[in-house]
Structure formats: C-alpha cells, structure tokens
C-alpha cells in the first residue's frame, strides 16, 4: 500500500506518518508546503532515511506539480490533512484559510480526479481520497446534544467555514465525478508534537516558565478531546473499511470546560516542573481575557456510527493522556523551543474583530 499524505509535517499528519513508517509496511509520500505550522523535526531522522518514505515540499494548490507527483509515485490513496488550522489566526486574517483549505482542496481534488481516472479498473475501484475535517463545521452546541454524521453544517468562524467549504467540495467531487471520497470529522486533538500555539501546549509552555495563562471569557467553553493516536487509528480504519461516499465522526467522549483543562495542566506542572519563585500554585497565573469573537460554546460528538461501521473506538483516557502529554513537553524542550521563534505563544484572534 502506498499513500500520499498532505500536511505530514503538521501535528496530526506527522503522527500518521510516524505510525505508518514504524508500525506498517506501507510507503508514504508526504506533501507539505512547510508553512509556519510545519515542524519537520516531528519526523525523526530514521523516517527520512526510510526507503518507504518520500518528502515533497509542495503547495497542494500547485496543480502541475501535484499531478506530476501523483503520476510518478502512483499512490493507492490520498489522505488530505494539509490545512490552515488555527481558529484565532483565521480571525486575524482569513485569506490563507481560503487559499489552502478551499482553493487548495479543490485543486487537489482535481489533480486526484485526473489521476484516478487513468488508473486500471482494479486500482480505480480500491482508490480512496480521505478528506480530514473537524467538528467545528457543525457550529456550536448548547448544554445538551451531540454532533453526528447527519448534523446540518453551521460553521461560525472563518476556519470552520473554510473547512466546511472543503468538505462540500470533497463530497461534490464524489457525487458529481465519482471520485471515491471519504470525509471524517473529528473533535479537538491533543498529544505530543502539537504546535505551541494550540491551547494545551500553549498552557504547558507558558505555565512552565511562569507566564500568564490567558483563558478566553470565563473558561466555560466545552471541548471534546481525542488523543492524536486515536485519531490516526480512526483515519486508517476509515481508509481501510470506510465506504466511498461515507462520513465518519471521531471524538474522545471527553468533554471538559477549557478552564478545567488549564487547571489540570497547572496541577500537573506544580507536581512535575520546578517551582516558580513567588508563585505558590500555577493556577494563580490564570488570567481571564475578553472572549474570542464568535466563540463556539460547546462541541461534542456522537461516534456510534464510526464505532459500528469501522470497529473503531478511542483507547486513551483523557486525564491519563493529558498527564503523558504534559510530561512529553517537559521532556522535549529541544522540540518545542525552536518553534517559539515566531511568537507562537502570543494571543491571536483580535485584530480583525476590533476587540
């Protein structure tokens, strides 16, 4: 099996590449433009050295280059993870989100369609284009209810709207042209190698050095957390067992208010990290800030369909997984320190909103 992965130097893509090279005999072609979000050192040197791994620094919107790569490498599937992925950045400026998530995805679909049409009958039948998306396309929940595969789309941030557009495009290429597309929608991921601009690493790194821990609003917004390795298992289950035209939702059944996540990080850092002068507990670093504009209140996922259709189930307990993740960041400063250079732990999302 040979799979072309887009965004393989990002958080989830790199977890997927590490898994495929270490745990399977599959070959991987990793297409990544290397934006600010890419951290190539998330892929250890033995991956680079593997004969089953190939890296191509390309923009998914560069149709001629993607067409040439597909024709040369002859993958059996495409797993599309490349995206602009940070909600706060999409509020500061939506243009890169439209360029990559919408235009880039449509161009990748076109290139994939041309390639797929030229495959032999058997390979065409088996081919899959797996489009990786988010629960944020469904909008915001109140106190009750969960999203599922049939929930109507109601994206509310520029990021969510761009991902929603990309989901619609992927399904349209399936319905209109017959490309065997699968769409997956997943809740918030956490785990090692996540870019320090995202909530959990941001709080770990700021808490470690004793910086203020900025929490939006009262911290009551609820997210469901899935360990990145459980997401990777879901993506591979969808690729191998999912139906063309199918949608599969993944979630960790681990709903928590943002404040509770930050407090858990503070408590673990107090146990494991060196004490801070003049700071009795890291919870005292928490600072409530003006809420994120348009902040969705709650996300939660009903994953019964994926469990039944794919035999997939999350294996990691969130509290244990969070502790492991904090310990990973404590032990891997050499990975995250260089990534901090571009102001990764600054608060974003306020420029366009005028807040």
For the annotated catalytic residues, the residue numbers are: 135-136, 159
Distances (CA, A) of 332 to 128, 170, 209, 276: 36, 37, 14, 20
Closer residue to ligand NAD, CB minimum distance, 160 or 269: 160
Tell me: does residue 222 bind ligand NAD (CB under 6 A): no
Tell me: does residue 13 bind ligand NAD (CB under 6 A): yes
Asked whether the beta carbons of 71 and 119 are under 8 A apart, the reply is no
Tell me: does residue 59 bind ligand NAD (CB under 6 A): yes
One residue of 20, 60, 238, 254 binding ligand NAD per CB under 6 A? 60
With contacts defined by CB under 6 A, name the span among 6-14, 21-29, 266-274, 275-283 that binds ligand NAD: 6-14
**E strand or H helix that includes residue 131:** strand 128-134
Tell me: does residue 33 bind ligand NAD (CB under 6 A): yes
Asked whether the beta carbons of 161 and 270 are under 8 A apart, the reply is no
One residue of 82, 109, 235, 301 binding ligand NAD per CB under 6 A? 82
Distances (CA, A) of 306 to 3, 123, 286: 22, 25, 37
Name residues whose C-beta falls within 8 Å of residue 214's C-beta, 6 or more positions apart in sequence: 287, 289, 347
With contacts defined by CB under 6 A, name the span among 81-89, 213-221, 240-248, 297-305 that binds ligand NAD: 81-89
How big is the chain, counted in residues?
Answer: 355
Q: Inter-axis angle of helices 105-117 and 158-177, to 10 degrees? A: 20
Q: If DSSP codes are grouped into helix, strand and coil, which group holds residue 173?
A: helix
With contacts defined by CB under 6 A, name the span among 8-16, 241-249, 262-270, 304-312 that binds ligand NAD: 8-16
- Smallest distance from ligand NAD to CB 231, Å: 7
CA atoms within 13 A on the CB side of 332: 19
CA atoms within 13 A on the CB side of 292: 25
With contacts defined by CB under 6 A, name the span among 76-84, 112-120, 209-217, 321-329 that binds ligand NAD: 76-84
For residue 195, which of 42, 24, 353 has the smallest C-alpha distance? 42
Q: How far apart are CA 89 and CA 79, in angstroms?
A: 24
Tell me: does residue 134 bind ligand NAD (CB under 6 A): yes
Tell me: does residue 66 bind ligand NAD (CB under 6 A): no
- Smallest distance from ligand NAD to CB 68, Å: 15
For residue 184, which of 233, 224, 142 has the smallest C-alpha distance? 233
Tell me: does residue 104 bind ligand NAD (CB under 6 A): yes
Quick note: the x/- pattern for ligand NAD over 182-211, rule CB under 6 A, is: ----x-xx-----x----------------
- Smallest distance from ligand NAD to CB 281, Å: 28
Which spans of this chain sit near ligand NAD (rule: CB under 6 A)? 6-7, 9-13, 31-35, 37-38, 59-61, 81-85, 100, 104, 132-134, 163, 186, 188-189, 195
């Amino acid at each position: 099996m040979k799979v072309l992965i887009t965004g393989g130097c990002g958080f989830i893509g790199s977890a997927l590449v590490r898994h495929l090279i270490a745990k399977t005999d599959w070959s991987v072609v990793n297409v990544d433009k290397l934006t600010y979000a890419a951290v190539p050192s998330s892929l250890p040197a033995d991956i680079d050295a593997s004969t089953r791994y190939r890296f191509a620094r390309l923009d998914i919107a560069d149709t001629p280059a993607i067409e040439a790569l597909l024709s040369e490498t002859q993958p059996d599937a495409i797993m599309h993870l490349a995206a602009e992925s940070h909600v706060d950045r999409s509020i500061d400026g939506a243009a890169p989100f439209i360029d990559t998530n919408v235009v880039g995805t449509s161009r990748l679909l076109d290139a994939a369609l041309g390639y797929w049409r030229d495959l032999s009958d058997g390979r065409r039948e088996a081919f899959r284009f797996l489009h990786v998306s988010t629960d944020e396309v469904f909008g915001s929940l109140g106190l009750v209810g969960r999203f599922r595969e049939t929930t109507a789309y109601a994206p509310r941030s520029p990021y969510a709207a761009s991902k929603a557009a990309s989901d619609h495009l992927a399904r349209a290429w399936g319905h209109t042209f017959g490309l065997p597309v699968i769409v997956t929608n997943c809740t918030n991921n956490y785990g090692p190698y996540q870019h320090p601009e995202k909530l959990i690493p941001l709080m770990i790194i700021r808490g470690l050095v004793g910086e203020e821990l900025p929490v939006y609003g009262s911290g009551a917004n609820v997210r469901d957390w899935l360990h990145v390795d459980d997401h990777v298992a879901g993506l591979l289950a969808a690729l191998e067992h999912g139906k063309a035209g199918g949608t599969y939702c993944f979630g960790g059944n681990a709903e928590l208010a943002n404040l509770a996540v930050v407090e858990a990080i503070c408590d673990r850092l107090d146990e494991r990290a060196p004490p801070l002068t003049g700071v009795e507990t890291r919870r005292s670093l928490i600072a409530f800030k003006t809420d994120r504009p348009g902040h969705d209140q709650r996300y939660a996922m009903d994953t019964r369909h994926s469990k039944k259709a794919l035999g997939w189930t999350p294996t990691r307990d969130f509290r244990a997984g969070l502790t492991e993740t904090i310990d990973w960041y404590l032990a891997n400063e050499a990975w995250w320190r260089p990534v901090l250079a571009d102001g990764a732990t600054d608060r974003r999302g306020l420029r366009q909103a005028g807040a």
